[in-house]
Amino acid sequence: MKPLAGKLALFIVLALIIGAFAASAQITTQIVFRMSRPFVVGNTTFPEGNFVIREVPGAAKPTLEFSNPRGGASVKVEAVSIPADHTIHAAEIAFNKYSNLMALSQVFPGPGKHGYQLVPGQPEKDAAKSEKPLRQTIPAKGN
């Protein structure tokens, strides 16, 4: 009876370890930032305020979800993974600033971590036809 109980205990421990690894693989990066003016993500305009960016797990292509922690609109946007920027020392959000538009362009979760280049939406494509953007960055909190 004892050998069976020992094997069962070993099986349970192994199952718990494997489960812990699987659960930790599903934890996604979350970035929090505050924007002091309206901005565009893809084809959606957000007002000023606090926002959360999360990776969408299980998506076929890198996808980020943008939302307000107090509720309201959220949007999922396709992105392209880009190499880490070694000049960044904390989480950072980059915008393309046009005369009448702030378009979220890049997201860096933190130092040494790969970033994301967002696929531009129609408002940014239209603005880019007539002017060249300035890059503007703001700090964020990533984990």
pLDDT tens, position by position, 73-126: 789 999 999 998 888 888 999 999 999 999 999 999 988 888 999 999 999 999
4 has a pLDDT exceeding 70: no
What domain range is 89 assigned to?
28-142
Model pLDDT for residues 5-64, shown as the tens digit of each residue = 555 544 454 444 444 444 333 335 689 999 999 999 999 999 999 999 999 998 899 999
- Reported pTM: 0.75
pLDDT for position 2: 59
Rounded Cα–Cα distance for residues 129 and 54 (Å) = 30
Residue 22 lies in a domain: no
User: How many structural domains does the chain have?
Assistant: 1
Taking alpha carbons only, the member of 83, 84, 85, 65 closest to residue 75 is 65
User: What is the structure's pLDDT at 30?
Assistant: 87
pLDDT in tens, 131-140: 999 999 999 9
Judge whether 135 lies within some domain. Answer: yes
Domain-located, residue 12: no
Task: Indicate if the pLDDT at residue 72 is higher than 90.
Answer: no
* DSSP structural state of residue 120: P
